[in-house]
Structure 1
């Protein structure tokens, strides 16, 4: 089959692109899969990045048909850090230009024909034209077709295995301990805190200001022990309290909706029963399972972090605060993604049956040097304790 790969054009390609997306659930064949409804905007998952592109694969000839598509975005992120000679100075981030591939889809009837490979190669060509040094992508560790394409044919290598943690949004607000004070930061305060404390975290976006000021960021919050007052960003950075925690909330619900398909009848029955009992006996405050078998939205938590012996406890309070925000916003879930070695993971409530313990990130080097000097090959670097997951790529 002769296929032409070209840039997506909304007016002529919308219906065809949506048709391909609808045919491609995410998940292993024969198991529960996750369907994504992009609400009429196939580019929504990359639109908020500094540079983005969507390509479509179209059959040649008079009866043209879109049979594949791919999305990509480019940004500058932290890949390493420079340790200062003086112990009194803080480490400085080393930035690189990185590109992210997501949403690769090929129509089921046209698979194993090289269409996916052609889409990836054309996207990488665009990446190189933007000066990208590294390209990376994420896939389910059990997605054999994706692994064979990217690792086997495109030269990508396994890089990181973060965890996707998902918590259902219950019908009731979750209580927050009176021993914790939740403070809402301004965008300027949030930027100062992230740059001051997290700029050397792997994948930290250099344009964090654009992320925090995006209308989809619903707020950045700090949790402090009760009785400790927010002193302002300058004094906080100079003399932080013994323990504190931080996170930001991103409104994914306005971009896309999700739906679980192929779930066993037992799962559906248990979820329905939990909701029925909760409606009949609301005073018991049973953690009922929302209906995830119909389209639902969610909030994504990003920039999670903190310091001190009580940081995990304070982060748990922030996650409860975000849950209550999601409940008011009509969401079905609250989700986040963290490094496999995240030290504060104990403070992130989640349900194992809805989460993914091991997502797979793969990376490929497209250029020889980092943008600010040759400091090594990022693809060979060991994982750190934390990663910064950009909500614009969720």
Structure 2
């Protein structure tokens, strides 16, 4: 863009107005890549509501960057939300154990700037305005996630906005085989839990896990949460959640399922022809010879949807095996609902990671999270400054932030 054109350009950052901005915001979403900068790229394709990915959180907002001169055009956007999460734990005064330490954290989701208007400081203005809103809502921290190969985004947040590298979780993705269901192991019994039973389990067993949301009950009762499932040894008789929590079996596992396809859709573009051909061949063979149960590669080169698995956990020597059974069950649920992928995110050192089926080619070994302290006073108790705390073995990933 020429210097004279830059001088005439006027950019205003303001809150998103649905009737006025939907078409322009959707256009920016569609044109911006959201995935690895090398190889095939993932593109979002929102289903009508650009605010849908943060609307389910307690406090949310979407800002747009509008060029008002020389002509009106939406050239950037950002989404953000604020909630109370666990940032650490402290020892209980009586009876041992530990208690969760909560903080008010803000999450930046979906910073987008039109390719034709980058390197003009628009992304910086959007984040700064978002941080002002975070502070007005009492947020103590602001954090964001980006692909480790997205150098411009990383440098914007670390060099100019003073965020620091915080966590590097792993995104695991498994394709859904449309041709057949995956068999479940006979060694496990799967128990569907009601939202109230699931809440009790999560608060008793996961309440000190980093990023555990205080409003877990709202997540579990959300219409997009398709259920929580508990895996137990097939010889175990389930007598209710209280009985399970008071005397759990040696091994067990749990996970919940979130419907992402009703919020947004994705597609892979730029994949080589040979990969497309191999994927098509695998599907053709699977359709022709379904009894072979060939792991066919779904058609991810057009708009597709998926499920997100959250609240994964378990205990005991067979926990990985039981978690795998739950993931296979989620795969079959997704297959029946017309999904093409099942995905989840776990801490980099999650001990149960080996029990989660995934394809390495579709997954991301290192999702980069950066954080910044917004508050001046330290109200985190034993944690001190959360930005300097070491990572735990597990993290709780809020499905509303996918």
TM tier relative to shorter chain: over 0.9
State the 1:130 CA deviation: 0.3
Q: Distance in 2 between matches of 1:85 and 1:92?
A: 9
Quote the residue 2:5 is aligned against.
Answer: none
For the 8 Å contact 1:96–1:370, the answer to whether it is kept is no
Q: How many residues are paired up?
A: 393
Runs of 4+ in 1 over 6 A off after TM superposition: none
Quote the residue 1:93 is aligned against.
Answer: 100
State the 1:22 CA deviation: 1.3
Which SS does the other structure have where 1:56 is aligned?
strand
TM-score normalised to the size of structure 1?
0.98
Quote the residue 1:42 is aligned against.
Answer: 50
Q: Distance in 2 between matches of 1:340 and 1:85?
A: 31
Q: Distance in 2 between matches of 1:370 and 1:295?
A: 45
Superposed CA RMSD in Å reads 1.2
Which of these residues, 15, 27, 30, is aligned with residue 7 of structure 1?
A: 15
For the 8 Å contact 1:67–1:107, the answer to whether it is kept is yes
Quote the residue 2:3 is aligned against.
Answer: none
Which SS does the other structure have where 1:254 is aligned?
coil
Deviates more, 1:92-101 or 1:226-235: 226-235
Q: Distance in 1 between matches of 2:37 and 2:172?
A: 22
State the 1:27 CA deviation: 2.9
**Are 1:342 and 2:350 an aligned pair?**
yes
Any stretches of 5+ residues in structure 2 without a counterpart?
1-8
Q: Distance in 2 between matches of 1:300 and 1:23?
A: 24
State the 1:84 CA deviation: 2.3
Quote the residue 1:235 is aligned against.
Answer: 243
Q: Distance in 2 between matches of 1:379 and 1:5?
A: 28
State the 1:374 CA deviation: 6.5
Any stretches of 5+ residues in structure 1 without a counterpart?
none
State the 1:279 CA deviation: 1.2
Per-residue Cα deviation, 1:319-353 (whole angstroms, up to 9, x for no partner): 00000000001000000000001000010000000
Q: What does 1:314-393 correspond to in 2, within 5 Å? A: 314-369=322-377, 371=379, 373=381, 375-393=383-401
State the 1:23 CA deviation: 1.1
With over 3 angstroms needed to count, the CA separation of the structure-2 counterparts of 1:153 and 1:166, relative to structure 1, is: same
Per-residue Cα deviation, 1:208-236 (whole angstroms, up to 9, x for no partner): 00000001000000000001022212121
For the 8 Å contact 1:98–1:136, the answer to whether it is kept is yes
Quote the residue 2:275 is aligned against.
Answer: 267
Which of these residues, 102, 124, 138, is aligned with residue 117 of structure 1?
A: 124
Quote the residue 1:308 is aligned against.
Answer: 316
TM-score normalised to the size of structure 2?
0.96
Which of these residues, 162, 167, 174, is aligned with residue 160 of structure 1?
A: 167
Q: Distance in 1 between matches of 2:234 and 2:37?
A: 49
State the 1:28 CA deviation: 4.3
Quote the residue 1:150 is aligned against.
Answer: 157
Quote the residue 1:197 is aligned against.
Answer: 205
